[in-house]
Amino acid sequence: MKTVSFIAKHGNSISVTSAGSGPTLMLLHGFPLDHRMWQSQLECLSQHYHVVAPDLRGFGQSTLAEQSYTMADLADDVEAVRQHIAPNQSISLCGLSMGGYVAFEYWKRYGPNLNALILANTKPESDSAAARAARYEMAEQAKRLGAWPAISGMLVKLISPYHLEHKPEIAQTAERILRDCSAEAVVQAQHAMAIRTDFSQHLQSIFTPTLVITGQHDPIAPPDATRLWADKLARGQFRMLASASHLTPLETPDEFNGQIRSFLAACR
């Protein structure tokens, strides 16, 4: 059974959806999504874990106070959620894409609270000048036209061509979530990602057991580049999920969940 609770932090109310019992596995969604992208993980992994899926500031049911934020602020929010939900426990933390950027920050600030890391469809490096400019452009477009016109073009990157054609329900689920995203959430998240810290020089110092996952067709975190940085982790493993693109937990949930279960079982 799923439960939803709200945690107050720095003027924001953070919505947290949880299911199951056992060791805590926290799931951090990507941009511009919310906890609903983890539906299969909340259902299936909760048979073995206390699965906790917060909505990051401004997304889903979480509020967005006026001030801008950074990835480090989001990592502080994650720690507030841990203290509320699993106060005396260390956790396993899984972040997808933007959620992965937050997971790197969490490792830097709260590493001793981590049992294991799962970094899905993400990357350690910060943006190139061109990527940063594209973020500011998307933010401006969201201000001018609203969120959906700014983000709708992302769908074809998030879902693989095979799944777009043969499993349209995946894109329909993703589109429902994207359409609920507000312009302000797009603006603040793009600004925060544009100034995120570069973790590519820290990979050798990450001694937390880490599983790195990406999709065979992910244009945002392509497999070859992802394998290269995963190999630099002190205790990293790399897995590529066939036929998926950027939203591996939604596109190939059985394979994604299976990888997490065997990785976490080996970590224990």
Instruction: In angstroms, give the least distance from the CB of 206 to ligand MLT.
Output: 20
Near ligand MLT in 176-195, by CB under 6 A: 193
Nearer to ligand MLT, 50 or 142 (CB): 142
DSSP strand pairing (50-54 vs 24-28): parallel
Cα(219)–Cα(158) distance, integer angstroms: 8
Near ligand MLT in 82-141, by CB under 6 A: 97-98
Near ligand MLT in 231-260, by CB under 6 A: 246
Nearer to ligand MLT, 97 or 210 (CB): 97
Nearer to ligand MLT, 114 or 193 (CB): 193
Q: How many residues lie near ligand MLT (CB under 6 A)?
A: 7
DSSP strand pairing (236-241 vs 114-120): unpaired
Nearer to ligand MLT, 151 or 260 (CB): 151
**Phi and psi torsions of 169, nearest 5°:** -65, -25
Helix (H) and strand (E) counts in the chain:
12, 8
Instruction: In angstroms, give the least distance from the CB of 85 to ligand MLT.
Output: 23
* Residue whose entry in the numeric block shows the structure tokens 């609270």: 113
Nearer to ligand MLT, 30 or 215 (CB): 30
Cα(266)–Cα(223) distance, integer angstroms: 23
Cα(136)–Cα(127) distance, integer angstroms: 12
Binding site for ligand MLT (CB under 6 A): 30-31, 97-98, 193, 220, 246
